[in-house]
Structure 1
Amino acid sequence: MKTMPKTMPTTVLVSGGGIAGSALACLLSRRGLAVTVVERAPGLRRGGQAVDIRGAALGVIERLGLLEQARAHRTRMRGMSVLDADGREIHRSTEHTFSSGRLDSDDIELLREDLVRLLHERAAADAEFVFGDAVTALDEDEDGVLVDFEHRAPRRFDLVVGADGLHSAVRRLAFGPEESFTRHLGMHLAIFSADNFLALEDWQLWLRDGEAGYGVYPVRDNSQLRVTFGFAAEPLPTDRRDPEAQKQLVAERMAALRWETPRLLKALHEAPDLYCDAMAQIHLDRWSQGRTVLLGDAGYCASPLSGQGTSLALVGAHVLADALARADDDHQGAFARYERRLRPFVELNQALATENPGGPASEASVERAKNAIALDD
């Protein structure tokens, strides 16, 4: 009996259960694909900064049926103050903040953990999620990819998507060592949560002295703070899985700052949810290799300095899912279409991080970049 060809790939492994991976799981499951998401963390990751859904990414969230829920979780900032080294206000604005841009914009700023939870809840209805595990090997043949995991038995999939962030294991396995594709931007960020001991009410504070500084803003109805420390440095030799070593390194770099720095450093040492990493971008000549393709930060990280990592993840997920839906049995053609449509958008948004070193990109550049793609093509 003659075997009928498949009309499109049917099984997809997505490595990474963050914004990019969960959004893609939603979109592919809707198209009838069997999606498995593997996430190294034991559950949904907590903490992290406020992120922005801007421009074209708002259309993706709307198509996922999550626009009103995202709006309900948005931050409610009234403005910000910029402080000198001793905590004296030197500038204030009720029109924009460094974290979200213009306050009268239709864009949505919300906590990363809230957005991930919304996407996960929508995706988990149809996709399989495996927590506490990671991809360790990829063995591709003409019919699929045999994937080895850290803990579970190997499984075969038609396609593999690396949505596992700046330090992507899938990218390393399929494309080579991380340093081949990384462009460091000369800064580190450390982000953590704390009690609102500054009694801030929907108001941000930003302080900078020399090559170090921090931003502080309230969340959760002003009951908590999110603190972002930043300092200039080339890549530092710390283990990303050793938060205590990271805390010590950050404290050393921030110790010379004045004002509320001692209390903020105390909160750093007590924080249960530190995120700390070098600010870097990922640049590859191509985002796919055989049956493996990269999505979001794994393929084209713009860094938090761009303010557009979340939008790139959401728009990238939409474009990739749309390309696969039109692919029939041609996954390579789908990957080429995905890259052809998305790369100009990525390049404009990556440029935001380097347009104005030490400060935000211009409003005109952000407006142009965030809307530089049409969802329907």
Structure 2
Amino acid sequence: MTNPNILISGAGVAGPALAYWLRRYGFAPTVVERAPEPRAGGYAVDFRGEAMTVLERMGILDEVRKYSTDIRDSEVVDGAGKHLVTMPSAIFAGDLEVLKSDLTDILYELTKHETEYIFDNSITALTEDESGVLVSFESGPARRFDLVVGADGLYSKVRALVFGEHSQFIRHLGVYNAIISTENFLGLDHEGRACQLGNGKSVNVFSVRNNAEARASFYFGSEPLDYNRQDLDEQKRIIAERFAGDGWEVPRLLGDLAAATDLYFTPISQVQMDSWSTGRVVLLGDACACASPMSGRGTSQALIGAYVLAGELASAAGDYTLAFAAYERELRDYVKINQDGAHEVVGMLFAEPPPQEVFDAMAANPPEDEPDALTLKTYR
């Protein structure tokens, strides 16, 4: 198979990053995304370890640095606003932190001139034969591709079509998270303020874009909820009911929630699979290896996974069977360590914070000083 044409489902981080590397190796990628444009909103993402190397090899590290949140320490308060502890940024911000939407914009601008993007569309069926995959879409004619990559997140459409129902692979960690944009009404100066409300709930506000804006996160413990993932009004009702009557700045934040147009609401979950590929279809990023936002490694996994998958396809001269197997071997241990670490963070999310001395000791040996569980190959 010479220079295969490859369909990538998902235009978040993993999909465009993969498109970049595929084009560099002479492949022909197409990206389909159900949203009408690159998604706005969302949380801040950080990079550490070998993910920084990938950004550098893509030639965008300096550009990404321009959008750094420059986040400093985060204060933790109780429901009455009383100071509890200060969390040093070295614990949670990695080597570099930016808003996810800023990163996706950079990746889109990097790839849009050499990659076909199909927005406001989605895959509805995949039919594989000896020569390729026939792909049907919600709109437009069916098309044939040599390979299909599902880089479409926790609730991957590709995974559902080819591997089975979400329930087979998604492991809920007992927490839900919601994020909205808001004004920097607390006057935060490149910092955050988290409030432990008790009863399995907390909120966090942090400044972004040089303090011109802020993001607010709601966390609450819950068993799996049955709700429409496309219905923002229903999701807003769930959050408002959970936090009704809570103190600190919660009433103000619930007012912002009601008016929000960029709500991001998700269960804190992981994806665990015995295999990330079958036939001509392979999964990438959260679709196959979600470690949850609690890991602090999701974006790093997406960037590294894209680099490795494209590199292995190039090294195998398009022999996808060999490439998919090598890609999985390279990343399995790395993913397991990240998923294990997320469980530890979830266990501490609603607990009373430890003494300040503990945080200070953690800051003295921050996570970015710990080596990744993999060393990147240098592909041709």
Shorter-normalised TM-score: what interval? over 0.9
Which deviates the most, 214-223 or 13-22?
214-223
**Counterpart of 1:207?**
195
Normalising by structure 1, report the TM-score.
Answer: 0.93
3-state DSSP of counterpart to 1:351 = helix
Give the drift of 1:257: 2.0
Aligned match of 2:311 in 310, 322, 344? 322
Alpha-carbon contact 1:187-1:234 (below 8 Å) kept? yes
Alpha-carbon distance in structure 2 between the residues aligned to 1:309 and 1:126: 26
Equivalent residue letter for 2:202:
G
- d(CA) in 2 for partners of 1:329, 1:270: 49
Residues 147 and 157 in structure 1, CA contact (< 8 A), matched pair in contact too: yes
Distance 1:125 1:287, change over 3 A: same
Aligned-residue sequence identity (percent) comes to 47
Equivalent residue letter for 2:101: E
Question: 2: CA distance between counterparts of 1:350 and 1:358?
Answer: 13
Where does residue 331 of structure 1 map in the other structure?
320
Deviation at 1:246, TM superposition (A): 0.3
Q: Which moved more, 1:77-86 or 1:48-57?
A: 77-86
For 1:255 and 1:246, the matched residues in 2 are separated by: 14
Amino acid aligned to 2:265: C
Amino acid at match of 1:15: S
Following superposition, the deviation at residue 149 of structure 1 comes to 0.4
Structure 2 residue aligned with 1:374: 375
Alignment of 1:292-303 (within 5 A): 292-303=281-292
CA contact 2:7–2:148 (8 Å) conserved in 1: yes
Q: Quote the residue 2:354 is aligned against.
A: none
1:122-133 correspondence to structure 2 within 5 Å: 122-133=110-121
TM superposition shift of 1:201: 1.7
CA contact (8 A) 1:213 1:257 kept: no
Q: Tell me if the contact between 1:80 and 1:97 (Cα under 8 Å) persists in the aligned partners.
A: no
* Distance in 2 separating the partners of 1:46 and 1:166: 18
Name the counterpart of 2:124: 136
Partner of 2:250: 261
Distance of 1:159 and 1:85 partners within structure 2: 52
Residue of structure 2 equivalent to 1:118: 106
Residue 138 (structure 2) aligned to one of 140, 150, 154: 150
How far does residue 195 in structure 1 lie from its aligned partner after superposition?
A: 1.5
Q: CA 1:168 to 1:217, structure 2 compared with 1: closer, same or farther past 3 Å?
A: same
Q: CA deviation at 1:9?
A: 4.6
Which deviates more, 60-69 or 357-366?
A: 357-366
Aligned to 1:60: 54
Q: Which residue of structure 2 lines up, in the alignment, with residue 160 of structure 1?
A: 148
- Identify the residue that residue 40 of structure 2 maps to in structure 1: 46
What letter matches 1:64 in structure 2?
M
Q: Distance in 2 between matches of 1:195 and 1:347?
A: 38
Structure 2 unaligned regions, length at least 5 = 350-358
Counterpart of 2:221, as a letter, is: A
Question: Structure 1 residue aligned with 2:205, among 197, 213, 216?
Answer: 216
Equivalent residues, number:
365
Query: How far apart, CA to CA, are the structure 1 residues paired with 2:195 and 2:90?
Result: 13
Root-mean-square deviation (CA), in Å? 1.7
Structure 1: runs of 5+ lacking an equivalent? 1-5, 102-106
Give how far 1:96 is off.
2.1
Q: Distance in 2 between matches of 1:134 and 1:276?
A: 21
| 1:143 Cα offset (Å) | 0.5
Query: Once structures 1 and 2 are overlaid, which stretch shifts more, 116-125 or 287-296?
Result: 116-125
Amino acid at match of 1:49: Y
Q: Using a 3 Å threshold, how does the CA distance of structure 1 residues 358 and 214 change in structure 2: closer, same or farther?
A: farther
